[in-house]
Amino acid sequence: MPIETEVLIVGAGPCGLILANELGRRGVSAYVVDRESTVAMAPQANATQARTMEHYRRLGFAHEIRAMGMPADHPTDVAYFTRYNSHELARFEMPSSSQAHQRVKELAHVWNAAELPHRIPQSLVEQTLLRKARELDSIRIDFLHELVTFSQTDDGVNATIKDLQTGECKEVHALYMFGADGGNSVVRRTLGIEYTGGDLTSRDFMGGQMLSIYISAPAFYDLGIKPAWMYWAVNRQRRALLATVDGKGMFALQTQLKPEEKLEDITDERASELFCQAIGQKIDHEIIGRASWMAGRALVAERFQDKRVLLGGDAVHLFTPTGGMGYNTAVEDAVNIGWKLAAVIKNNAPKELLESYEQERKPIAHRNTEFALRFADSIGLYQAPSAIEKDDEAGDFARKRAGAYIQQHAEKEFTIPGFTLGARYDASRIIHKEPGMSPPDAPSVYVPTAKPGGRAPHLWLKDGESLYDCFGFNWTLLSLDTNLTVPNEIMAFAEKNGMDLTLLVIEDEPLLNDLYERKYMLIRPDQVVAWRGDDLPSNHDVIFKQLLGG
């Protein structure tokens, strides 16, 4: 007998695991398979952006993520040097995790968010997501299992899964399948879906074969450098960035191989040399591991869906990591499709709702990969002055010029509320459109608006509570009308149609009136404004039908 599940998820990275959490929280069964032995153990991505932290808050464990990574009082600065033992060129200061709760309120005019970004290795995030998913009764996760083949029928997906330990093959029948199996996605390739977009733009940095070196080097802190989250080396010999993993001596060094350097020639001994080049001297250290990847990409898949098979994460978009949005975009993919799959599977929405997934997420994939490339161009096409390491007047002048350029770059790349909070679904068929322009879309500036199609504006209420903590887990009807008569007809309609709708009435918060500009808002499970108006809709059945894909 085949294994029966409602959703088969191929891939247990952040995208697959967030989807498992979203489905499991809604009582939908999901079977997750991954060919690796467990989730990532190497650091990989190290920036969890504000919007992703808001989703972790919505799921109830942002505080656990915030407590991991570097020590609570460790600065999250980004610092630039000629070499780490030499001249500091620029520094962009950012708060430690212990300061984040207070700073997000102080910076509300910039971030308008419930959470600030958090600097944490992706491996620790994945381990948390795995643990949370395994706590859900309807979720099953098998590692060392790979997808062999699959086919679609009118009522589901039939897949063959191979146990890599025993060699046994098992049949799985699912209503839907989600491919979150990375850049070399078996699911995508089986469907014949190609990537489109720019690939491998050449740059002095972040434009070619990149080498990641995982290093234990507590002696780094003996250099007397003011602590930071990320340390960049900018010189004519070897560009590099060193990311702090735990604040105690574990680091991840990223450097780009030069045209004459071959990946197969990089031994641990050579990796040590590259590390010491960036420092400017030899220090005690140990090479823990190495990996390689390609920078300079901005690739998006032709399609995100084929009938009952959907795809997300790296399977449909490949990033250059400047801006730190690759894994964060994958999380948003999973959040977007999670509530939609649950609504369709529970017969609370027609299957046409799923068509809105590609319609909403594909334009965002193009937007985000292009923003990332702009940051890659800004830092990667910049070439350090030839005199930057000289200890003379020419060197001083070169460092001042380099520092001025790098400082403005850092301020743009690492203050990105628009990038992470400003994505919009204006063209979506399940958004109740309003006339008028949307705010400008710029990575370093976020303009909050409750115009349907974008993230609901956030506010810290007078009692200190986050507005987001007042929203329901699924749909929310937000009322700013102090004379509201409880909309029994609307609530009854929602209950009859299986729509989990929370009524949230907020009084005496004038700043909310300024942010939302209407009395009533319907807010989706992913905290996107779907409809707003100054009167409760008499044709609510028609509006709900549109918002659910009918």
Q: Among 235-249, 359-373, 536-550, which stretch is predicted with the lowest mean pLDDT?
A: 536-550
| Residue 378 resides in a domain | no
Distances, alpha carbon 62 to alpha carbons 87, 118, 122, 157, 219, in Å? 37, 10, 14, 34, 32
Whether 51 and 139 share a structural domain = yes
Whether 528 and 483 share a structural domain = yes
Q: What is the pTM of this model?
A: 0.96
Q: What is the CATH number of the domain that holds 282?
A: 3.30.9.10
Whether 491 and 519 share a structural domain = yes
Whether pLDDT at 195 is above 80: yes
Whether pLDDT at 200 is above 80: no
pLDDT, averaged across the chain: 94
Tokens 């968010």 sit on residue = 113
Give the structural domain span for 513: 427-547
| Residue 202 resides in a domain | no
Whether 182 and 239 share a structural domain = no
Q: What is the CATH number of the domain that holds 48?
A: 3.50.50.60
Q: Rounded distance, CA 309 to CA 8, Å?
A: 9
Strand partners, 150: 159
Whether 441 and 542 share a structural domain = yes
| Residue 307 resides in a domain | yes
Whether pLDDT at 199 is above 80: no
Whether 331 and 471 share a structural domain = no
Q: Rounded distance, CA 118 to CA 446, Å?
A: 18
**Cα-Cα end-to-end distance for the chain:** 35
Whether 64 and 166 share a structural domain = yes
Number of domains in the chain: 3
User: 124 by DSSP, 3-state: which?
Assistant: helix
Distance of CA 319 to the CA centre of its chain: 11
| Residue 203 resides in a domain | no
Say what the pLDDT of residue 259 is: 87
Q: Rounded distance, CA 521 to CA 502, Å?
A: 12
Q: Rounded distance, CA 295 to CA 318, Å?
A: 9
Which tens digits make up the pLDDT trace of 58-87?
999 999 999 999 999 999 999 999 999 999
Report which of 336, 362, 316, 312 is spatially closest to residue 23, judged by C-alpha positions: 336
Whether pLDDT at 42 is above 80: no
Tokens 């979506």 sit on residue = 428
Whether 469 and 518 share a structural domain = yes
Which strands make up the sheet holding 520-523, listed edge to edge? 501-505, 475-479, 520-523, 529-533
Distances, alpha carbon 540 to alpha carbons 71, 393, 483, 544, in Å? 50, 72, 20, 6
Say what the pLDDT of residue 221 is: 96
Whether 511 and 495 share a structural domain = yes
